[in-house]
């Protein structure tokens, strides 16, 4: 009876692990699809969205879809998303991130908020590659400019590591994001890659891109190409 009980318990544990792995993978794939939709929307709102010149200069893109749903939005919050960086051969495979803590410059009654962070210089890239870092002031993170003419007269190219945006109801706005912590999402990483490669290895382009992540990367490539074309035609 004891042996039988052990066998049954082992089978149940294995089944639970398989269910968790499947659900974790499905949730991660859905997050990639949602992030792709956010990137597609950038191209649809040129007058009220992220300036193409800003997007064209970004070294890395981080998208956290469905950051907040309902409630009184204030204080520390949490969300999961994906990031990719430019490499010598194109955009890297996605790295899964979690963003939490800090004070979010949002408002009451928002049902859905998507977070977009653009890493603008090498110092910001190095912070992202560290696998865990806190966003702070003094040029580290700033609310991003919005609209075609919003870039004129700003010094974000020189000083700002990361520009942050929120999207709600299809419109983009600069977002205050001081004190938030960005780190690797280990569960989603394992769910998609089957192991746990480091942020640095993934974002440096040293990890093979799984087929399940192509929907997100295709959206990144499309948004990047659109931004480059717009910048070339200015």
Helix axes 186-193 and 2-44, enclosed angle (nearest 10): 100
Whether residue 160 is contained in a domain is answered as yes
- pLDDT top residue among 149 and 6: 149
Can you give the pLDDT at residue 73?
A: 45
Domain contains 69:
yes
Rounded to 5°, the CA angle 57-219-171 comes to 75
Residue 51 lies in a domain: yes
User: Has residue 76 been placed in a domain?
Assistant: yes
102/114 Cα distance (integer angstroms):
16
Beta bridge partner(s), residue 165: 116, 174
Structure tokens at 82: 């994906």
C-beta separation of 124 from 161 below 8 A: yes
Helix, strand, coil distribution of the chain in percent, nearest 5:
40, 25, 35
Residue 18 lies in a domain: no
| Total domains present in the chain | 1
Q: What is the mean pLDDT of the chain?
A: 78
DSSP bridge pairs for 79? 99
Q: Which domain holds residue 110?
A: 30-232
pLDDT digits over 37-71, tens only?
Answer: 999 888 777 666 788 888 999 999 999 998 764 44
Predicted pLDDT at 171: 74
Does pLDDT of 185 surpass 50? yes
| Domain assignment present for 10 | no
| Burial profile 189-223: b = 16 or more Cβ within 10 angstroms, e = fewer | bbbbbeeebbbeebbbbebebeebbeebbebbeeb
Question: Partners of 116 in the beta sheet?
Answer: 63, 165
pTM for the model: 0.81
Backbone angles phi, psi at 43, to 5 degrees: -75, -15
Query: How far apart, in whole angstroms, are the C-alpha atoms of residue 67 and residue 113?
Result: 5
Residue 16 lies in a domain: no
Note whether 55 and 224 are within 8 A (CB).
yes
2 in a structural domain: no
Is the predicted pLDDT of residue 28 greater than 50, yes or no? yes
């Amino acid at each position: 009876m004891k042996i039988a009980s052990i066998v049954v318990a082992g089978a149940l544990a294995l089944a639970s692990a398989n269910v968790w792995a499947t659900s974790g993978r499905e949730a991660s794939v859905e997050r990639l699809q949602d992030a792709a939709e956010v990137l597609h929307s950038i191209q649809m709102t040129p007058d009220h969205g992220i300036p193409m010149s800003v997007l064209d200069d970004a070294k890395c893109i981080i998208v956290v879809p469905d950051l907040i749903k309902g409630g009184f939005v204030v204080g520390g919050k949490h969300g999961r998303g994906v990031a990719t960086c430019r490499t010598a051969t194109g955009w890297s495979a996605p790295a899964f991130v979690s963003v939490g803590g800090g004070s979010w410059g949002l408002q009451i009654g928002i049902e859905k908020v998507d977070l977009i962070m653009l890493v603008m210089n090498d110092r910001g890239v190095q912070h992202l590659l560290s696998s865990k870092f806190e966003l702070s002031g003094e040029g580290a993170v700033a609310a991003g400019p919005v609209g075609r003419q919003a870039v004129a007269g700003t010094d974000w190219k020189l000083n700002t590591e990361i520009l942050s945006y929120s999207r709600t109801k299809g419109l983009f706005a600069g977002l205050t994001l001081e004190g938030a912590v960005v780190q690797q999402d280990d569960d989603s990483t394992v769910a998609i890659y089957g192991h746990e490669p480091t942020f640095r290895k993934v974002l440096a382009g040293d990890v093979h891109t799984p087929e399940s992540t192509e929907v997100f990367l295709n959206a990144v490539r499309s948004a990047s190409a659109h931004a480059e074309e717009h910048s070339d035609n200015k």
